[in-house]
Amino acid sequence: MATNVRIAPSILSADFTALGKAVQMVERGGADLIHVDVMDGRFVPNVTIGIPIVAALKRAATVPLDVHLMIVEPERHLESFIEAGASMVSVHIETSQHVHRTLSSIRALGATAGVAINPGTPVSTLEAIADQLDYLVVMSVNPGHVGQAFIPQSTSKVHAARHLLDKAGNRAPIEVDGGITTENAASLVGAGAEILVAASAIYGDANPTDATTRLRNAALKGTFASEANIK
């Protein structure tokens, strides 16, 4: 059960001509993090944000930047992204050949270290590093494009991931990324998610400030339901 919920709007769906304003709008709605999707056109079929944009976002944001590296050889770029302002950095287990070393490098550079897993990657792949994670990102869509539909099996995957981390004695939070809406937020939190990343559900709304607040309120229903079941 998640005891805390954090909302991380993804600027991938924001107006790139006014990113500072986009950050301010979701912060007014209670955003806890700003999620930054970095894609290289190799690991995923899209190219998005680079280091200069992260640096600009750092100047605009008052909440931490959660940088998701959907790139090959992420270890080559860790220092640059963290120097630019990343407070949290996640790398894909599918792209990092020496994931223990990569996680240690992220922490040594002063950031929180996470691993992301794709929908087709089983939770069991994390067994060897379950006690090493500061947070885990469960992808609930196949990464690469915004606006995809949530994969329903992701909820049970979150539950399995929470069990694996708990078994390893690690209370690291689980972040869910992809297709998050007010309709599925509560069930994900009930399954163990604590950080919800939303792009279209927030920046596709006419009022991103209100959309951020609505998503938090919907997610909190999952916390309340879980607490009621325990009692």
Task: Point out the catalytic residue in the list 15, 40, 177, 210.
Answer: 177
Q: What is the C-alpha to C-alpha distance for residues 79 and 74, in angstroms, rounded to an integer?
A: 10
Catalytic-residue membership of 37 = yes
Q: What is the C-alpha to C-alpha distance for residues 69 and 81, in angstroms, rounded to an integer?
A: 9
Catalytic-residue membership of 66 = no
**Under a CB-based contact definition with an 8 Å cutoff, are residues 61 and 25 in contact?**
no
Q: What is the C-alpha to C-alpha distance for residues 151 and 222, in angstroms, rounded to an integer?
A: 18
Task: Point out the catalytic residue in the list 37, 40, 66, 134.
Answer: 37
CB atoms within 10 A of CB 122: 10
3-class SS string, 73-138: CHHHCHHHHHHHCEEEEEEECCCCCCHHHHHHHHHHCCCEEEEEECCCCCHHHHHHHCCCCCEEEE
Instruction: Please list, in sequence order, all residues whose beta carbon lies within 8 angstroms of the beta carbon of residue 50, skipping any fewer than 6 positions away.
Output: 38
Active-site residue list: 37, 177
